Amino acid sequence: MTDLYAVMGNPINHSKSPSIHAQFAEQAKQDLVYSAMLVPTEGFEPAVKDFFKGHGKGLNITVPFKEQAFQLAASLTPRAQTAQAVNTLILQEDGTILGDNTDGAGLVRDLMINQQQELTDKRILVVGAGGAVRGILQPFLEQDPAQIVIVNRTFEKAQLLAESFKEFGAIEAKTFEELDGPFDLIINGTSASLAGELPPLPEVVVDASTCVYDMMYAKELTPFLKWAETLGAAKIIDGLGMLVEQAAVSFELWRGIKPDSKQVLQDLREQLQGK
Ligand code: NDP
């Protein structure tokens, strides 16, 4: 029987995950089907249970269910435990469900392998304090940056995150007004670009050696990346690579095979730009 995988979210119709995993499966000659499942806001738990009662072997979980997936998993990897959010569910041999979070590992892989960006000893500014940022802080701190500064529209959330992650390395919360110098790397982990908006960062955070990354991606440059380009940033990168790499980490967890993400990323980039 063919193994079933899916991504559950709401909304889900624009998800690129089915196409990414279909390509991984073809590459690795794996007999599996991966689909996108729209789940009603109140119906997450029964949907997951039904899926695993059938031939379901693994799920990706996206907005707005990552916290519910964290609650539902019978056991958690340490990184999912720290992130308090789960984007990957894995059916274990004993029939229980393990929860993991591959977002942070995906971003670190995209930065370090695809983009050749060092994180060790770098000054990193993280903008945002939502679920996605929660998932990236520990994998980032494991790379031993000189410092992570975290800013957020709701300052208290940045403070709470800095407090809960300080055991893993040098991290502090600041207000936007307190930012007074350039960073080596800036990560936009807010959803501001979705609304065509910009977080109120002072221009001094970017100089000619700054690499700027927006977790969002779109056909055109996101407002955040346009802003960074105007300020003369050394490099601007969108979140398409993170999307493919977090999927690659999930695929490896499920199938034990590391897919070649480079070709898939290149194809997806061409599709996005309508080539
Ligand atoms: P959440 O809703 O959990 O968090 C949203 C964050 O954005 C909060 O910090 C919020 O601030 C901030 N924010 C929202 N609107 C604005 C605004 N207009 N100005 C300034 N700050 C704003 O979302 P997630 O953390 O789950 O996702 C964040 C982004 O990351 C999304 O765009 C998502 O698409 C992207 N993402 C990309 C992935 C990839 O693979 N490329 C993977 C995961 C996420 P406040 O706390 O004040 O509300």
Residues 135, 62: Cα–Cα separation, whole Å: 13
Regarding the beta carbon of 190 and ligand 1, being less than 6 Å apart is answered yes
Residue 106 to residue 140: CA distance in whole angstroms: 11
Query: Distance, CA 76 to ligand 1 centroid (Å)?
Result: 23
Q: Is 189 in the pocket of ligand 1 (CB under 6 A)?
A: yes
Cα(94) to centroid(ligand 1), Å: 36
| 14 ligand 1 Cβ < 6 A | no
pTM for the full model? 0.95
Residue range 92-115, pLDDT digits in tens: 999 999 999 999 999 999 999 999
Q: Is 84 in the pocket of ligand 1 (CB under 6 A)?
A: no
The alpha carbon of 140 and the centre of ligand 1 are apart by a number of angstroms equal to 18
Say which residue, 10 or 193, is predicted with more confidence. 10
Q: Report pLDDT digits (tens) over 123-168.
A: 999 999 988 899 999 999 999 999 999 999 999 999 999 999 999 9
Pick the CATH number of 116-238 from 3.40.50.10800, 3.40.50.720, 2.60.40.1260, 3.40.1350.10: 3.40.50.720
The predicted model gives 31-46 an average pLDDT of 98
CA dist., res. 97 & res. 88, Å (int): 10
Evaluate: CB of 216 within 6 angstroms of ligand 1. yes
Annotated catalytic sites, by residue?
66
At 185-196, the pLDDT tens digits run 999 999 898 888
What's the whole-number mean pLDDT along residues 20-47? Answer: 97
Its sign, for the CA torsion 124, 128, 132, 134, is: positive
CA of 61 to the centre of ligand 1 (A): 16
pLDDT (tens digit per residue) in 198-236: 999 999 999 999 999 999 998 999 999 999 999 999 999
Would you say the CATH fold of 116-238 matches that of 3-101+241-272?
yes
With a cut of 80, say whether residue 4 has pLDDT above it. yes
Ligand 1 pocket, residue 135 CB under 6 Å: no
At a CB cut-off of 8 Å and minimum separation 6, what does 205 contact? 125, 179, 181, 182, 183, 186
Ligand 1: atom nearest CA of 132 is 25
The predicted-structure confidence for 233-254, as pLDDT tens digits, reads as follows 999 999 999 999 999 999 999 9
- Ligand 1 centroid–CA 123 distance in Å is 21
Q: What is the pLDDT of residue 133?
A: 93
Q: Return the best residue to mutate from 16, 150, 190, 265 for the ligand 1 pocket (most ligand atoms within 8 A of CB).
A: 190
Establish whether residue 192 lines the binding site of ligand 1, counting it when its CB lies within 6 angstroms of any ligand atom.
yes
The pLDDT of residue 195 is: 86
User: Is the pLDDT assigned to residue 275 strictly greater than 80?
Assistant: no
Q: Where are the domains of the chain?
A: 3-101+241-272, 116-238
What kind of architecture, by CATH, is found in domain 3-101+241-272?
3-Layer(aba) Sandwich (3.40)
For the CA of 240, the nearest atom of ligand 1: 41
